[in-house]
């Protein structure tokens, strides 16, 4: 029996990266939109969106920029446009959820627990502005906050908006948090889980840990009551986890938010290039690529009305 088709997500720019890490990282709303269009043409069915201040490239949680980017990507691609609810430092959960409550996307990320999120080991490069060095360094004292109070509230807000959560699980404990939400009746099944592995402060981006997380999720939710995808942070984790997910029946996330290299000795010139490599791996491993509407079917989302 052929395996289910695979959908590829592309995480276009990120909130825990700085633009001085790579000239390929899209910064302005226009650049993020163009990068998303190219990623879709290369085969991405989901576009995971953060936004940045156009002048500086600093990660932003400005609803106006989100509105512009999400709106343009909806208009100009058939992809599932998936904004982050990661927000910015010091924001309340209701502020972080405004991308959901105001823009009512088909899907958005739902971070399933708190953890340290260290980016202070990112190499300082001459092209980085002083604020970028400070941003990286400040992560020594940063906790990515997603308390129980936060995730209960977020569950309500997603439901009210009719937005499907993608549960971002960075560690095995986050799966138990989702199971707890399920016990409280706050999860609609089948759920979709993104195993995000390789963040400093959470689980490692290794094949062993991906398999451990997958087995934990299967024990908690049953084999068939969730869909899943893997996002490896850094190189080669991005592609090692992609290949593992392809072999195990999961889906794949790549993109400049997570990794900057296309091969050991070559930095990616674009998001599209990372998607192309994921698509090539899918073909090599006999997983057919799902188009956006096929991804919607797999995820239980409504087909998109023709424009």
Distances (CA, A) of 51 to 67, 156, 229, 241: 10, 24, 23, 26
Binding status of residue 84 toward Zn ion by CB under 5 A: yes
Q: Round to whole Å and give the CA distance between 275 and 10.
A: 7
Nearer to ligand KMH, 151 or 199 (CB): 199
Closest residue to Zn ion using C-beta atoms: 84
* CB of residue 104 to Zn ion, shortest distance in Å: 19
Other beta carbons within 10 Å of 76? 14
Binding status of residue 139 toward Zn ion by CB under 5 A: no
Q: Which helix (H) or strand (E) holds 120?
A: none
* CB of residue 235 to ligand KMH, shortest distance in Å: 14
The residues that touch ligand KMH, with contacts defined as CB under 6 A, are: 11, 14, 16, 84-86, 109, 111, 168, 196, 199, 233, 257
* CB of residue 252 to ligand KMH, shortest distance in Å: 14
Contact in structure between 159 and 95 (CB atoms under 8 Å)? no
Contact in structure between 83 and 46 (CB atoms under 8 Å)? no
* CB of residue 254 to ligand KMH, shortest distance in Å: 12
> How buried is 187 (Cβ within 10 angstroms: 0-12 exposed, 13-18 middle, 19+ buried)?
buried
Q: Which does 168 bind (CB under 5 to 8 A by kind): ligand KMH, Zn ion, none?
A: ligand KMH
Q: Which helix (H) or strand (E) holds 39?
A: helix 29-42
Nearer to Zn ion, 84 or 209 (CB): 84
* CB of residue 118 to Zn ion, shortest distance in Å: 16
- Determine the interface stretch with Zn ion among 78-86, 172-180, 241-249, 281-289 (rule: CB under 5 A): 78-86
In which region does residue 185 sit, left (phi positive, over 0), alpha (psi from -120 to 50) or beta (all else)?
left
Q: Which does 166 bind (CB under 5 to 8 A by kind): Zn ion, ligand KMH, none?
A: none
Residue with tokens 């939710």: 221
Binding status of residue 163 toward Zn ion by CB under 5 A: no
For strand 143-144 and strand 115-116, is the pairing parallel, antiparallel, or unpaired? antiparallel
Distances (CA, A) of 273 to 34, 71, 143, 185, 287: 14, 24, 32, 41, 19
Nearer to Zn ion, 45 or 287 (CB): 45
Contact in structure between 63 and 102 (CB atoms under 8 Å)? yes
Q: Which does 111 bind (CB under 5 to 8 A by kind): ligand KMH, Zn ion, none?
A: ligand KMH
Nearer to ligand KMH, 216 or 229 (CB): 229
Q: Which does 199 bind (CB under 5 to 8 A by kind): ligand KMH, Zn ion, none?
A: ligand KMH
Radius of gyration of the chain (CA): 18
- Determine the interface stretch with Zn ion among 35-43, 69-77, 82-90, 171-179 (rule: CB under 5 A): 82-90
Q: Round to whole Å and give the CA distance between 237 and 176.
A: 24
Q: Which does 238 bind (CB under 5 to 8 A by kind): Zn ion, ligand KMH, none?
A: none
Nearer to Zn ion, 29 or 287 (CB): 29
Nearer to Zn ion, 32 or 287 (CB): 32
Q: What residues make contact with Zn ion under the rule CB under 5 A?
A: 84
């Amino acid at each position: 029996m052929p395996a289910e088709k695979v959908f590829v997500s592309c995480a276009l720019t990120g909130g825990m990266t700085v633009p001085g890490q790579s000239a390929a990282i899209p910064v302005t709303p226009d650049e993020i939109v163009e990068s998303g269009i190219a990623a879709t043409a290369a085969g991405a069915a989901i576009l995971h969106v953060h936004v940045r201040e156009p002048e500086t490239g600093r990660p932003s949680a400005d609803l106006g920029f989100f509105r512009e980017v999400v709106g343009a990507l909806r208009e100009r691609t058939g992809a599932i446009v998936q904004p982050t609810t990661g927000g910015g430092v010091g924001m309340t959960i209701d502020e972080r959820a405004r991308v959901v409550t105001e823009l009512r996307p088909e899907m958005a990320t739902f971070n399933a627990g708190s953890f340290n999120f260290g980016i202070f080991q990112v190499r300082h490069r001459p092209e980085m502005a002083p604020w970028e060095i400070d941003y990286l360094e400040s992560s020594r004292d940063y906790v990515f906050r997603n308390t129980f109070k936060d995730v209960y509230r977020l569950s309500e807000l997603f439901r009210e908006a009719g937005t499907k959560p993608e549960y971002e699980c960075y560690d095995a404990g986050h799966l138990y948090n989702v199971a707890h939400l399920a016990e409280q009746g706050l999860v609609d099944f089948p759920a979709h889980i993104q195993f995000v592995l390789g963040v400093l402060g959470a689980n490692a981006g290794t094949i062993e840990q991906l398999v451990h997380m997958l087995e934990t999720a299967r024990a908690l939710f049953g084999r068939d009551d969730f869909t899943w995808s893997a996002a490896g942070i850094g190189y080669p984790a991005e592609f090692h986890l992609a290949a593992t997910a392809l072999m195990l029946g999961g889906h794949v996330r790549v993109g400049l938010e997570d990794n900057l290299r296309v091969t050991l000795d070559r930095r990616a010139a674009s998001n599209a290039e990372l998607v192309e490599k994921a698509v090539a791996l899918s073909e090599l491993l006999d997983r057919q690529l799902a188009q956006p509407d096929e991804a919607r079917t797999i995820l239980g989302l409504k087909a998109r009305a023709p424009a």
